Structures are given as C-alpha cells and as structure tokens.
Amino acid sequence: MKILYVVLIIVLVVFVYYLISKQRNAKDEDQLAGKFLHYHSVDSSRTIQSGNVQMNLVLESKRNLEFFLTSDNNVIVSAFLGERENTFTKINAEGNIADTLKLISRPEDIVFLKGFIVDKRARQYYRWSFNGVKIPIGIIAQNSCFDWDTQRQSKQLADIAKQSKAVHVDYNFDSPVPQKKLERGYKLHRQFPATP
C-alpha cells in the first residue's frame, strides 16, 4: 500500500513540475528579442507604423478570406464578419476599396467561385465582381428532385441544343475547325490553303 502512495506522490510532483515549466516557456515565447522591441504586434492596433511604411487593417473575417482577381485588376475579397454577414469587397489596382456587396446568409449557403457569388439556398447568383450590379439573377433548377427518366432528360438536352446559338468545338487530329451541329450529327468544315 505504501508503494501506491509513493507512486501517486511522484506522479503529482511530475505533473506540478510540468505545469510550472509550461507557464515559464509560454512567457519566454511571448517576449521578443531586444532588437525587435520597437516592432508592433499585428494585433496591437488597426494601424501599424514601421519606418516609412504604414499598414492599415482592411478586413477581418471569422473564416478564411477568399480572393479573386478580375480582368480589370480588381481584387475581390470574400469575408464573413458575423454569423450570417457575408461581405465581398472590391479593391482596385491602387489598393483602395472601390465597392462592397453584403449578403445576409449562412456561410455554408454562399459559394464564391471564380468571381461568381452563388447563394445556394436562395437559388441566385451575382455577377457583381464583373459588372458591379448588385441585383441577383435567379437560377432555374430543373430536375432538382432527380425524378426525371432517361427519355425526359434526353428531350430536355435536345431542346437546349436545338435552341442554342453556340457552336460545338471538337478538336481532332484531322481539323481544328469548329463544327456546327446539324440535325443528324456534325458537319465537318475543312479549310484548304489557296493554290497559287
């Protein structure tokens, strides 16, 4: 029985020593070396001055920031400020805030994909990153219940292809020329060099 008490006392002493050394190491790690004492911590204030350079806090987010660079050299930054407040900020090439878009929705419902902002729950998307318009565009969900049979799906795809003004481009080894779809397949257009 004495051995049990001795083992218990040793474990207790080791645990107390571990806690004391952990606190001492934490204090040492928080302190900077003497030559860096004039530096400011990033979290100390909203504006940090270091020599000739001044750094200002632009955005804070409760989740990771997401970025997208537009063709106009604007950076779109996606941030979540609160539980349901999603903010998209457009920063121009000079570093100034050009515009903002705020959406009230859960972070799980917002998708920021290549500049497009999609609200899955409301079934809407925004092209604000590209044109500055803050009005959402509705997304028409077809077969959202997945209850269409093969025949109905094929008919829908055929209707889309028939009404489309797009040209199907199929690159192959014979000719990289775009092919316009006809009623019974594709018609191949070949271009031959002009004869001298």
Instruction: Give tens-digit pLDDT for 1-41.
Output: 778 888 888 989 898 888 888 777 666 566 667 777 766 66
pLDDT by residue (tens digit) across 38-52?
666 666 667 777 777
pLDDT of residue 83: 78
How many C-beta atoms surround the C-beta of residue 42 within 10 A? Answer: 9
Residue 138 vs residues 19, 25, 124, 129, 168: alpha-carbon distances, Å: 58, 56, 4, 17, 26
The 8-class DSSP code of residue 135 comes to S
Asked whether the predicted pLDDT for residue 173 surpasses 50, the reply is yes
Cβ-count burial 112-145 (b if 16+ within 10 Å, e if not): beebebbbeeeebbbebbeeeeeebeeeeeeeee
Q: What is the overall mean pLDDT for the chain?
A: 76
DSSP conformation letters of 152-184: HHHHHHHHHHHH----B----SS--S-BEEETT
The 8-class DSSP code of residue 132 comes to -
pLDDT of residue 188: 46
More confident residue, 168 or 104: 104
CA–CA gap between residue 112 and residue 125 (Å, rounded) = 10
pLDDT of residue 171: 54
**Main-chain phi, psi angles of 78, to 5 degrees:** -100, 125
Query: Mean pLDDT over residues 87-91, rounded?
Result: 87
Asked whether the predicted pLDDT for residue 192 surpasses 50, the reply is no
pLDDT of residue 169: 55
Asked whether the predicted pLDDT for residue 190 surpasses 50, the reply is no
Report residue 100's pLDDT band, with 50, 70 and 90 as the boundaries.
confident
**Number of helices (H) and strands (E), helices first, in the chain?**
3, 12
Q: Give, for 118, the enclosing helix (H) or strand (E).
A: strand 116-119
Asked whether the predicted pLDDT for residue 69 surpasses 80, the reply is yes
Strands 185-187 and 180-182 come out as: antiparallel
pLDDT of residue 189: 47
CA–CA gap between residue 154 and residue 174 (Å, rounded) = 29
Query: Mean pLDDT over residues 146-168, rounded?
Result: 80
Tokens 């690159």 correspond to: 171
21: its two tokens: 């050394």
